[in-house]
Amino acid sequence: MTTDVRLSVNGVRHRLAVDDDELLLTTLRRLGHTSVREGCGVGACGACTVLADGRSVSSCLARTVRYDAVPVTTADGLPDGDDVVEEFVAARAMQCGYCIPGFVMMSHELLAENPVPTREQIAAHLEGNICRCGTYQEICAAVAATSARRQERARGDERRPA
């Protein structure tokens, strides 16, 4: 059976018919969002992570019909100059890069919930994501650097005359 869904991806609305068991991962890639990667396909690696209403979702486990009218954000929908992405690049937090979109989306979720996470909190939040290239130290450093950058910017905003 198919169902008509209204998908909102990175602020763009789509209306499409999907099989009731179609996975969000499949639909997003069908729409051209190839930053959404399939790794394990069973919810164990985090490569397919997207944000739905700001919360991380393993799109390889999610059925598209459940995301009717829910705003979805993928890594390729982040704006140019996204601070998390810039800090990942600065920290050289990738080798092959396959896992990185998932880590970036998880990092955005964490920093929205907890703007100043400890190293332990960063590691705990990202522990469901797997990087086969083993760049965990650099990834954690990138998240910490993004947090520091946001704090610095906030302090600058406070000092600036209104």
Residues that bind ligand FES (CB under 6 A): 38-41, 43-48, 58, 60, 94-100, 131-133, 135
Four-residue CA torsion sign, 46, 47, 51, 54: positive
- Closest CB to ligand FES among 5 and 47? 47
Shortest CB 107 distance to ligand FES, Å: 13
- Closest CB to ligand FES among 60 and 78? 60
- Closest CB to ligand FES among 40 and 89? 40
**Contact predicate 150/115, CB 8 Å:** yes
- Closest CB to ligand FES among 116 and 124? 124
Shortest CB 31 distance to ligand FES, Å: 17
Shortest CB 89 distance to ligand FES, Å: 12
**Contact predicate 16/4, CB 8 Å:** yes
Q: How many CB atoms lie within 10 A of CB 119?
A: 11
Shortest CB 14 distance to ligand FES, Å: 21
- Closest CB to ligand FES among 132 and 153? 132
Shortest CB 49 distance to ligand FES, Å: 7
**Contact predicate 48/36, CB 8 Å:** yes
Distance CA 78, CA 63 (A): 23
Sheet of strand 49-52, all strands in order from the earlier edge strand to the far edge: 12-19, 2-9, 71-73, 49-52, 55-58
Q: How far is CA 42 from the centre of its chain?
A: 17
